[in-house]
Amino acid sequence: MTVKLFEPIAFKSVTLKNRIVMAPMCMYSVVKEDGQVTPFHLTHYESRAVGQTGLIMIEATAVQPEGRISMQDLGIWQDEQIFGLLNLNKRIHAHGATSAIQLGHAGRKAETNAPSMAPSAIAMNESDQKPIEMSKADISTTIEAFKDAARRAVQAQFDIIEIHAAHGYLINQFLSPLSNHRTDEYGGNKENRYRFLSEIISAIKTVWNGPLFVRISADEYNEKGNQIDDFIYFSQQMKAQGVDLIDVSTGGVIQAHINVYPGYQIRHAEQIKQAVNIPTGTVGLITSPLHAEEILQNERADLIFLARELLRDPYWPRRAAQELNYQLEAPKPYRRGWNR
């Protein structure tokens, strides 16, 4: 049997050495509220690169300071932030890993000193402060901010960009009828609700030729929210715009009870992959190498995103190789430990 978890996969001219992805995870570890990379970030991401994870995706990184989920978020809203990210990339690349950055804006879920913005003045919870409804000028400024962030990502030598359109953050707020009650061309039918994301993709593509991933929440767990047909429509549009992979998560746009179990989001990735014929990534309570291999062999998804399991074990790829009986080459300094 060929072990698919360790098979390379190419997106445009970028080849990942295996199918294991470090899922984006906010570390809330910026020290001076300036969005800058710290020594902790270097250690944290480099450790997983040493551990042979193929693609290291940096946590949600804010394209505007008022779009931060917390004041401790990483940022890419100004040129001064490029140097730290470039340094981080050099550390990741030194171990043969590929790097990606997740570009994000929290919208009504932002927690900063500034008032939060959203497609409509609807708070997520009654206890939350109401966000300000974005004007057309606010929308244009935010699209420009995504584009400028992508330009900085080129300078910082990221291999892949992922747009964060999931978990109820700003772009997800535009996509969902639960949070978008606009009456202009950015709200109403699904074509209009997709417009904001569409314009962000187009703007990024003017400065970025590399692979582009988009993370979506393909289930809102609410009968008045988007349904799988809507996500298939959005994914078809993204494919037509040249998006290379849909990273499929769920939830976050509204409070909901979610029944979580191992691989609870795989079927969403599988449905989109089959219906749209586009590569997908799957995430969510995947911890076992055999489970990961099953998903890939049955063509239910193309990449396996691991979040909390990589916090527990930065050397998960080594464990996976042992369990799947695959000869994984050890990082040279670790050979005496790995090749027993």
Taking CB under 6 A as the binding criterion, the range among 7-15, 85-93, 159-167, 205-213 that sits at the site for ligand FMN is: 159-167
Secondary structure element (H or E) that encloses residue 276, with its range: helix 266-276
Examine residue 307 and tell whether it contacts ligand FMN (CB under 6 A).
yes
Query: Is 86:147 a contact under the CB 8 Å cutoff?
Result: no
| Strand, coil or helix: 198 | helix
Nearby residues of 227 by Cβ (< 8 Å), 6 or more positions away: none
Which of 26, 24, 34 has its CA nearest to residue 84? 34
Examine residue 26 and tell whether it contacts ligand FMN (CB under 6 A).
yes
Query: Is 277:308 a contact under the CB 8 Å cutoff?
Result: no
Taking CB under 6 A as the binding criterion, the range among 18-26, 33-41, 127-135, 318-326 that sits at the site for ligand FMN is: 18-26
Q: How many residues bind ligand FMN (CB under 6 A)?
A: 20
Cα distances (angstroms) measured from residue 195 to each of 174, 201, 238: 8, 10, 11
Measured CA to CA, the distance from residue 20 to residue 188 in angstroms comes to 38
In the bound state, the residue with its beta carbon closest to ligand FMN is: 307
Examine residue 35 and tell whether it contacts ligand FMN (CB under 6 A).
no
Examine residue 21 and tell whether it contacts ligand FMN (CB under 6 A).
no
Task: Draw the binding track, 272-301, toward ligand FMN (x: CB under 6 A; -: no contact).
Answer: -----------xxxx---------------
Examine residue 219 and tell whether it contacts ligand FMN (CB under 6 A).
no
SS3 content of the chain, % helix, strand, coil (to 5): 40, 15, 45
Task: Draw the binding track, 55-84, toward ligand FMN (x: CB under 6 A; -: no contact).
Answer: ----xx------------------------
Distance of CA 38 to the CA centre of its chain: 21
Query: Between residues 69 and 201, which has the closer beta carbon with respect to ligand FMN?
Result: 69
Taking CB under 6 A as the binding criterion, the range among 2-10, 11-19, 81-89, 161-169 that sits at the site for ligand FMN is: 161-169
Examine residue 175 and tell whether it contacts ligand FMN (CB under 6 A).
no
Torsion of CA 95, 97, 98, 101, to 10 degrees: -80
Taking CB under 6 A as the binding criterion, the range among 225-233, 269-277, 296-304, 307-315 that sits at the site for ligand FMN is: 307-315
Examine residue 173 and tell whether it contacts ligand FMN (CB under 6 A).
no
List interacting residues with ligand FMN (CB under 6 A). 23-26, 59-60, 102, 164, 166-167, 215, 249, 283-286, 306-309
